[in-house]
Structure 1
């Protein structure tokens, strides 16, 4: 014990804690009594034996070592258990020599050797094996093995060994060996995060308070369907904060986001609540995320940390390694899934494990478009929608009022002929039992691309930019086929802009968002990566050049525009609504009527809550009548 105790005063001074398992000095008579006796008798024999050795510690250990051990036990920094072999190892001693060290970042060193822990043994020729988990997966697995063995011993799950805690009173006797006039270390104090929370005066809005309460009433399971921009992240963290206050055991908190640049936004809001900095565990932010995940899980499983916070992506959440590690945690776990609809796909729903004790899903649109199975899975896993807060509830108190300007875009004659040709192919394929579903989907996507990239959209884009006159905080949503032409038009019109796509890395995206907010850029030209959860509250105008029929997409895009910002009293959304023709023939093709119906679904959603609702409706009424919709 003396050699093992070297440096523990420095460990304690740095806020470290320790757990030791050792073999007590038992006579053969003591061993037999423990082996044959019941639990109470075993405790009594162990107590009597330890009482005899307390005084020995006073003289056998050097002053510094004895004083440090006594103080650490008194301060609750050191726990000791005693291991005694069971009948299967009759007459033997607990003679295993291994351990694990952790630093403040969770890095782990595991060791195993034959050397006795005594002053004499230190002079022997001995060998150790050492694993450092940051060196690679093999070393990490070695440390994992040591951790599991230690935990099994500590919790009495090894059939070959009985493990006993120090009986009542013995720890106090050891603590009394300390020198009250010479504390060997300065008591470590955890940083007080409450000041962060108090200084920001965290107060939930009434609807956020109701959402949190409903989640707790549903046994800490549920989905929140809240309009984009109404503070879903803040509400979720408030729920997490209250949940953690109720937990006595170590808790692992996992936050899953759909795109990597949302991780920083979550981390920033976590700081408001005084949570410690989360670990980013996904490849683009952390190439060693697997090793870090292993350390985080070990910290919780071995109770070295009370709380651990992870931010990962939907994709990483569903990876096999991530799932395997999470499944080993038998302590408390929480999952918060941002933009939860993305986790309903067949591949990504693999990450929704039964091991998550508390579950909270967030989305303005939790239902998956044309995926009833995925939607049902999410509702079943998270425990249904426990709270709803719509756009009409939020405007104008919490979201910016907006005008909706639908722009009617006619197909060219060539596009209309191509659309009709592809419609016939699609109808024929869909009616055939011999053609695979993938072929039908491909034909549908090919036809849809004709609408998304309609040539006349460029002419209308120029007109919109000229109407705006001096674009300020403008978002332009495009698709890959349009983006080059759109950027050229913006250049021609003197609009200082930058593209915002998946080709920019995370640092570039952060710089672009900050620059856009500060007014360094007049406009951002975006594709899908601005659809979900990204905060761009300064946006005052948006031009929707390309939309799918998926409500999740256009509702999310509208939400980007409606967040409140200083000096922003209104937003404007310009939406290009494609029609086959403004003057359709009497014998309108079914496919053309369905095209317009799909476009009008989005139109109705946008117009419903607009300030200029009636004006917007008048724009489309003539078309509606002509197409008999």
Structure 2
């Protein structure tokens, strides 16, 4: 913080003295969150000179505003123009101080690319001004540092250039907000001037675009102060090295290097930020609940970050961290690994059937018994239950934190038997939909394991996520699809058989038996594979293509062979019948227009990460999938989704909707089309009440989607005929 720094006793900084202007800037950059500059001349060479301070400032999330003169060097003009007019595709890791410092220290092409990126991302905002009526040039040399609580302003004789900060006999006077009223008045005045320039309220200047910047040429502008605007790169390093003879400056630079070293090695919240209020409360609730609990959080609300923040808080207490993270798919192994890296967690080991993990885990297991070694193990549910992994798992210290992503998977038959044997005492379960449909035994086991039950210690609904801007708003269009005559005939035959088998007991409750289950699945298969879905799907594609002129960022959920009651995990593959279905729907997409590029995203797809990257970039326009985009996979660029699968499983359709509603900077809202197959049954038919009950269940999904949609009323009106046919009321559903 600014108040903790050792500022010059007389608040003066002079070139060649113990207190160099460079010293002032380094202290200010390293201890503030905002930097506001009023400049006469500006040269990016000054950023290079202060590279270690700038790297620290930017990596901590610092933002900078500059009002600059219209005269720049050729290279500086190019970088400002690029930054203001473009959004560079290149991405820099601004949390990596070492790499960033190196970039800002080299003053080569990479240096200018980094500056352009920072300008484009509005981490450095620039307002270019030119005085009117030829009244000389704007020659301000002042600025304000602030840390959110305190501020320091300064007035200087030196320009924000290499020569101004390092070579000329220049001086700078500082004003500290906590010292006296005069300082505060000056700071407020400086901020008013800067704010007026950025609001373009000062009529004494013209406000120029980047293209209007003039290049400073020595022969044209013979002012000595302009020399450094065209400074030769070869001169830069020599000048910089010669500065470090100042003892106090050396001490400050060494101090910053130590701070950087600490940042490199220690875990921290991503982007040097802080957790949101609900994430802090989640940690507190978890601790209060004996370090156990379920985080029932909608997609997009940060389940991963919330759970890793608990590990971070534990690390702050223990000075080490140990965790095992359970995930349903191999795709999520890498996704979690990236999230761990954002927290600067090291020694992350991934475990799946495709990797050689034994030696790494054996080493850290052994080392942790000798020294306080930190590590994180990310393992698929499929590998968790295998004997080879269990032999290592049982040796993990009991204080290891267990995080179960998509925690409902723990209720599957293959994993239920393991739960009582798990010795780890700290536990977090993550899921947007923790409840397992038709599986009270699995639900009870999960709740007991995490010492938690609905409404859970952490609960964040999709409604809250939409209202608070964590998910994007959407429009929803259900499309009623009818069965063909042949399909309807077979559907009725099975319905009559179910009626004779006694589908419901005397109290109207559903009866389950292997025979009934078999018949229900056979009938459900007719709904899933309904022939008329293809025509409805093709019409939606044609209409959307006509409106959008392309089908970029479209997800298609293809009907599965049948909606099964098992949990999805990594070893479930599409059947031969399902592969035929996905091929058929993929062909329909391809036939929409020659320009449409479509890819399948299935268990058989090779280079799935590459497929998602090309989709994100818009190279691949449409992804057709069946099961692989249900849990956890991030596809935030998705704008249009077509649900061709008639799923009645709340978890499945909630997970799928969540995939589509992820936020993206170039995305305004999402559109969802949903194919709803409703069998036409007469009121006089003996199976009417049975069908009415099942149609009502089908419409639960539709109502759930419609209630949170932007076009709720329009959606309800489109269902009127179906509701009338079955004497159903949406409010009851």
Q: Does 1:388 align with 2:459?
A: yes
Q: Check whether the contact 1:535–1:560 (CA below 8 A) recurs between aligned residues.
A: yes
**Superposed counterparts of 1:114-193, under 5 Å:** 192-193=263-264
Give the counterpart of 1:513 among 602, 612, 621.
612
Find the aligned partners of 1:550 and 1:564 in 2 and give their Cα distance: 25
* Matched residue SS, 2:315: helix
Give the counterpart of 1:253 among 323, 328, 331.
323
Question: What's the CA shift string for 1:571-618, capped at 9, x where partnerless?
Answer: 00101111112x744436233223311210101111111111111111
Q: Check whether the contact 1:323–1:351 (CA below 8 A) recurs between aligned residues.
A: no
Find the aligned partners of 1:450 and 1:304 in 2 and give their Cα distance: 61
**Superposed counterparts of 1:166-565, under 5 Å:** 192-193=263-264, 197=268, 200-247=271-318, 251-284=321-354, 286=355, 288-300=356-368, 302-352=369-419, 353-384=421-452, 385-396=456-467, 397-429=469-501, 437-469=513-545, 470-478=550-558, 479=560, 480=578, 482-494=581-593, 495-505=596-606, 508-565=607-664
What is residue 153 of structure 1 aligned with on the other side? none
Q: CA deviation at 1:558?
A: 0.1
Find the aligned partners of 2:383 and 2:266 in 1 and give their Cα distance: 34
Farther off after superposition, 488-497 or 556-565: 488-497
Q: CA deviation at 1:206?
A: 2.5
Q: CA deviation at 1:334?
A: 1.1
Find the aligned partners of 1:441 and 1:202 in 2 and give their Cα distance: 52
Q: Check whether the contact 1:318–1:350 (CA below 8 A) recurs between aligned residues.
A: no
Question: What's the CA shift string for 1:187-232, capped at 9, x where partnerless?
Answer: xx99753578477123222222222221122121000111112111
Q: CA deviation at 1:278?
A: 1.1
In structure 1, the gaps of 5 or more residues are 1-188
- Relative to structure 1, the CA distance from residue 274 to residue 612 in structure 2 (aligned partners, 3 Å threshold; closer, same or farther) is same
* Matched residue SS, 2:719: helix
Find the aligned partners of 2:674 and 2:378 in 1 and give their Cα distance: 35
Q: Check whether the contact 1:334–1:357 (CA below 8 A) recurs between aligned residues.
A: yes
Find the aligned partners of 1:442 and 1:514 in 2 and give their Cα distance: 40
Q: Check whether the contact 2:269–2:309 (CA below 8 A) recurs between aligned residues.
A: no
Q: Check whether the contact 1:251–1:332 (CA below 8 A) recurs between aligned residues.
A: no
Find the aligned partners of 1:471 and 1:432 in 2 and give their Cα distance: 45
Aligned length: 433
Question: What's the CA shift string for 1:262-288, capped at 9, x where partnerless?
Answer: 11111111111110141111112x1x3
Find the aligned partners of 2:584 and 2:411 in 1 and give their Cα distance: 35
Find the aligned partners of 1:579 and 1:422 in 2 and give their Cα distance: 15
In structure 2, the gaps of 5 or more residues are 1-259, 506-510, 561-577, 729-733
Q: CA deviation at 1:362?
A: 0.4
What is residue 86 of structure 1 aligned with on the other side? none
Question: What's the CA shift string for 1:509-546, capped at 9, x where partnerless?
Answer: 10011110110111000111100011000000000001
Find the aligned partners of 2:357 and 2:501 in 1 and give their Cα distance: 46
- Relative to structure 1, the CA distance from residue 420 to residue 290 in structure 2 (aligned partners, 3 Å threshold; closer, same or farther) is farther
Question: What's the CA shift string for 1:332-355, capped at 9, x where partnerless?
Answer: 211000000111112113443431
Find the aligned partners of 1:348 and 1:332 in 2 and give their Cα distance: 21
Farther off after superposition, 207-216 or 262-271: 207-216
Q: CA deviation at 1:442?
A: 2.5
- Relative to structure 1, the CA distance from residue 193 to residue 218 in structure 2 (aligned partners, 3 Å threshold; closer, same or farther) is farther
Q: Check whether the contact 1:267–1:277 (CA below 8 A) recurs between aligned residues.
A: no
Q: CA deviation at 1:422?
A: 1.9
TM-score normalized with structure 2 length? 0.56
Question: What's the CA shift string for 1:145-190, capped at 9, x where partnerless?
Answer: xxxxxxxxxxxxxxxxxxxxxxxxxxxxxxxxxxxxxxxxxxxx99
Find the aligned partners of 1:429 and 1:227 in 2 and give their Cα distance: 40
* Matched residue SS, 1:482: helix
Find the aligned partners of 1:350 and 1:292 in 2 and give their Cα distance: 27
Find the aligned partners of 2:351 and 2:302 in 1 and give their Cα distance: 24
Find the aligned partners of 2:701 and 2:363 in 1 and give their Cα distance: 47
**Superposed counterparts of 1:613-628, under 5 Å:** 613-628=712-727
Find the aligned partners of 2:540 and 2:635 in 1 and give their Cα distance: 21
Find the aligned partners of 2:359 and 2:519 in 1 and give their Cα distance: 44
What is residue 580 of structure 1 aligned with on the other side? 679
- Relative to structure 1, the CA distance from residue 330 to residue 198 in structure 2 (aligned partners, 3 Å threshold; closer, same or farther) is closer
Question: What's the CA shift string for 1:393-414, capped at 9, x where partnerless?
Answer: 1114111000011111111111
Question: What's the CA shift string for 1:267-323, capped at 9, x where partnerless?
Answer: 111111110141111112x1x3344433332232x2345212100011211223323
Question: What's the CA shift string for 1:471-508, capped at 9, x where partnerless?
Answer: 12000001225212111111110231000000124xx1
- Relative to structure 1, the CA distance from residue 431 to residue 405 in structure 2 (aligned partners, 3 Å threshold; closer, same or farther) is closer
Q: CA deviation at 1:548?
A: 2.1
Q: Superposition RMSD on alpha carbons, in Å?
A: 2.4
Q: Check whether the contact 1:193–1:275 (CA below 8 A) recurs between aligned residues.
A: no
Find the aligned partners of 1:436 and 1:468 in 2 and give their Cα distance: 42
What is residue 242 of structure 2 aligned with on the other side? none
Q: Check whether the contact 1:281–1:293 (CA below 8 A) recurs between aligned residues.
A: no
Find the aligned partners of 1:263 and 1:625 in 2 and give their Cα distance: 48
What is residue 222 of structure 2 aligned with on the other side? none
